[in-house]
Structure 1
């Protein structure tokens, strides 16, 4: 079999079978929304076996719930940046999306979550055993999709996928452990969000870059860009949970405070608080019954007195700067780097 020959199983959309690597003539970069639309269309065309129905229907169900398709779109974006054939990168991009939804299916079981994107979770619609087994098959289907990359890239790309998948599982485990621990350091928290959230962005970008023809150095730099951007994004999420406009942010403001979630803001407050502030914080953290509005206001007041928002924004900016340093070192035309800068700005400049 030729190095760039791509063989696709029967459940890959017909439109994406038999594609060959393109000539390296660069066209206009595609907009992010175009890449997201390509992924959504490809997800809709995925064909899974009909039997046994309870194994495969939940997969189609969770994939149909939508989402921003940001992770697979980043893979396509990276391929496009280096002059690759975006269409030929669709199967590995789908692999990232299938894998991501597999983690969501199992996370929902662990969290006993009733809803996912406003719809009933798989384990509630069917049952927990179905959710576990369907998730297992999703992981395997993700690998089947990822194996559709050119032969000469198969081993390095599967290595990246493996490292990414293990990192996400490690991050989820740490996140669950942090719920029970009383002492979690800032560095432990940053490592957790790196593993749980940011490594997928880095992995997707790295795989897309290699498919697009990037060398190993540039692919690593693009991965560093994605990982640091992912950490900055999560830190901003922590900030917006407390200080965001719920109408623009799309979430309940103060939700992390109500649930005692160990975010950068809470951990930094516990680190800096004096004895009276520490006592008040711990009294809210240990309270079994409380008025949610009162708790959010009281904890936010402590954050304000310690300038926690400013410290969190400085930490976020530190990781954003690291992302842009990696980007500056990549061997890409300046207009392509600017495309990534604009993407990062769009991701990090959200309404407060």
Structure 2
């Protein structure tokens, strides 16, 4: 998509402009490392897209967009430490290369640098954006804690899972769009509608992430295959499998999810139950459901349909990732 390429170029140039040259290098070079391997940089692009939707000044939105990108990478560094993940975006993770202490410090510094990118905004807009940004950060931490809790909690419900992924993933996409809208001067109703569009697209994106963890192409996905099964994460695949499994299959799932092990038999056995209960089809249906809810919010926004088209294309692109 040409519009996506154009936004990616804007973000890439901004990232390059703000490359860290500070000392000590042991702190800042790992920060440059993860930012330089920034993937598709979708969340800062969401800020710019929303700003454009409401005829904002894109130059005014660039630094807040970088704030979102820096914040997102801060969460990835710490997430990788907690998950003991060896690779991210097909590259070794920071704690794998430099140790856990450097990983924690580099992540903390990225978070602080993210806040500084809002400093140029006028006072009222600064307060509004920081309010959204800080609330997002707190919800994301809550979502991460729920995710950790679920590894050892037996009675995780589907609603628990949706709340967790909303906080962990959906809220950052939602807030990226909302901050872009606020910077462009959108009214309250439109800013909330684009927020809700982003929330449901973010939920769908995370469900797709869970799907690809098991059913995706590992090389294209850029993560360890079936990492969620290794970590006993009670994703939508697990919940759907448990709902549709036989009593014997549920007992087998309970057995394997009571052990945190690299045993390949665990992966093979759990995947076999996933396939027998057809959770792949059920998960793809759920992804489409949240995509449609998000599109419904997009329709409510009071701008010409031509301005909404890139958002529809982005949503479809995100949910057609390689599998």
Please give the TM-score of this superposition, normalised by the length of structure 2: 0.90
1:45 maps to: 17
Superposed CA RMSD in Å reads 2.5
What's the offset of the Cα at 1:104? 1.8
Deviations along 1:214-234, one digit per CA (max 9) or x if unpaired, are 111101100100000111111
Change in Cα spacing, 1:126 to 1:348, as seen in structure 2 (3 Å) is closer
Q: Please, which of 30, 33, 51 is the counterpart of residue 58 of structure 1?
A: 30
What's the offset of the Cα at 1:142? 0.8
Deviations along 1:82-106, one digit per CA (max 9) or x if unpaired, are 1112122110001111111111222
What's the offset of the Cα at 1:60? 2.2
Whole-angstrom CA distance in 2 between matches of 1:194 and 1:225? 12
Pair 1:325-2:304 in alignment: no
Change in Cα spacing, 1:76 to 1:179, as seen in structure 2 (3 Å) is same
Whole-angstrom CA distance in 2 between matches of 1:253 and 1:125? 21
Whole-angstrom CA distance in 2 between matches of 1:221 and 1:297? 42
1:306 maps to: 277
What's the offset of the Cα at 1:135? 2.4
Change in Cα spacing, 1:110 to 1:77, as seen in structure 2 (3 Å) is same
Change in Cα spacing, 1:263 to 1:213, as seen in structure 2 (3 Å) is same
Contact 1:89 1:149 in 2 (8 A): no
Pair 1:340-2:304 in alignment: no
Contact 1:238 1:263 in 2 (8 A): yes
Could you say what secondary structure the match of 1:312 adopts? Answer: helix
Whole-angstrom CA distance in 2 between matches of 1:234 and 1:54? 32
Greater share of helix residues, 1 or 2? 2
**Structural mapping, 1:125-136, within 5 Å:** 125-136=97-108
Contact 2:90 2:223 in 1 (8 A): no
Structure 1 stretch 65-74 or stretch 296-305: which is displaced more? Answer: 296-305
Whole-angstrom CA distance in 2 between matches of 1:193 and 1:131? 24
* Matched residues, number: 323
Bigger RCO (CA 8 Å, 6+ sep): 2
Q: Please, which of 113, 116, 127 is the counterpart of residue 88 of structure 2?
A: 116
Pair 1:71-2:43 in alignment: yes
Pair 1:145-2:88 in alignment: no
What's the offset of the Cα at 1:300? 3.6
Whole-angstrom CA distance in 2 between matches of 1:291 and 1:50? 44
Pair 1:315-2:286 in alignment: yes
1:264 maps to: 236
Structure 1 stretch 218-227 or stretch 308-317: which is displaced more? Answer: 308-317
2:212 maps to: 240
Change in Cα spacing, 1:143 to 1:245, as seen in structure 2 (3 Å) is closer
Contact 2:170 2:201 in 1 (8 A): yes
Whole-angstrom CA distance in 2 between matches of 1:259 and 1:127? 21
Unaligned 5+ segments in structure 1 are 1-28
Larger CA Rg, structure 1 vs 2:
1
1:9 maps to: none
Contact 2:88 2:223 in 1 (8 A): no
Whole-angstrom CA distance in 2 between matches of 1:163 and 1:288? 33
Deviations along 1:269-322, one digit per CA (max 9) or x if unpaired, are 223323222123233434677863x55454344334434233323322221121
1:25 maps to: none
Contact 2:151 2:231 in 1 (8 A): no
What's the offset of the Cα at 1:331? 0.7
1:283 maps to: 255
Change in Cα spacing, 1:287 to 1:111, as seen in structure 2 (3 Å) is closer
Could you say what secondary structure the match of 1:345 adopts? Answer: helix
